[in-house]
Amino acid sequence: MKHLYIKDIIKSVQNEKIKDAVVRRQRKNPDYKDSVFVEGKRVIETALLSTAVPQRVFIASEFLNNIANQSLIETILQKCAEIYEVSEPVMNKLSDTESPQGIAALFKITECRLLNLNPCSESVYVVVDGISEPGNVGTIVRTAEAFGISGVIMLPGTADPFSTKAVRASAGCVFNISTAKTTVDEFLKWINHTKLTLISTVVSGGVPLYETPLKPPFALIFGHESEGVSRVLINNSTVKMMIPMHGKAESINVSVSAAICLYEMLRQKQLNF
């Protein structure tokens, strides 16, 4: 039986709405950069709390008929999104995971530009310099949002924070924090017009993390997984900071580094209360 709020029941993977959603999921067409594909109940719930607007929602029959999911469906209805019931093969076609969770959606976002970010005396920004692994980018975004960071700035070579893998890794937090893509030149010009202290993370030769005053306002740079922060950014930084390590590992995962540094920021803030 078709629910009254269902716009249509889609059983063919050749359906134009499905083919369009797959193209948008891949995010290769620049005309679709304001469209983000999201799947999974928890991630969609988080996205619905943001300013992103749900456009089309695809729901598997089993998910649709589960009473535990009715609250989410009611929230989607309040946002006026088109809801489609889809067969299992169609959901498998839509999904970017091996085990689809039964719900996927397209959200419309408004791009954040660097010049739209207006730092104040309490601002802290995380700068992502060429981090190519979407999972790392998403985890950094999630960590930044959890610690109340003002925004995340993406420099060239950084994975798309709105790719399906990055969105999953961020647990949907990417919709609730400003993320701005920019060039290195534009970023440095912007920094020079703000009162932000620029801090680069380095593997060695820097000030130990626990000796570095992490008092706002500042921008904290994390670099490429193997190459680190680019030389031009290091040269333009006021502080070079490192995480002291006592084991045999040369370095740790960049998203772990971000979590450690942001926790230290919070620890110092609490000590100063």
CATH code at position 82: 3.30.1330.30
- 128, 143 contact by CB (below 8 A): no
d(CA 241, CA 111): 31
Q: Are 191 and 219 in contact (CB under 8 A)?
A: yes
Q: What is the pTM of this model?
A: 0.93
Residues 264 and 189 in one domain: yes
Please check whether residues 57 and 120 belong to one and the same domain: no
pLDDT at residue 129 in the model: 98
Which SS3 state, helix, strand or coil, does residue 27 take?
A: coil
The token pair that represents 91 in the structure block = 């959901």
Range of the domain at 76: 8-108
pLDDT for the residue numbered 98: 87
Domains held by the chain: number: 2
**What pLDDT, on the 0 to 100 scale, is given for residue 48?**
95
Residues of the chain short of pLDDT 50, as ranges, are none
Specify whether 160 is located in the same domain as 230. yes
60, 78: one domain = yes
What pLDDT, on a 0 to 100 scale, did the predictor assign at position 273? 63
Q: Looking at the domain assignment, is residue 1 inside a domain? A: no
The domain boundary, picked from 73, 108, 143, lies at 108
Pairing of strands 53-60, 82-86: parallel
End position of a domain, from candidates 58, 86, 108? 108
Q: Given 108, 140, 170, which residue is the final one in a domain?
A: 108
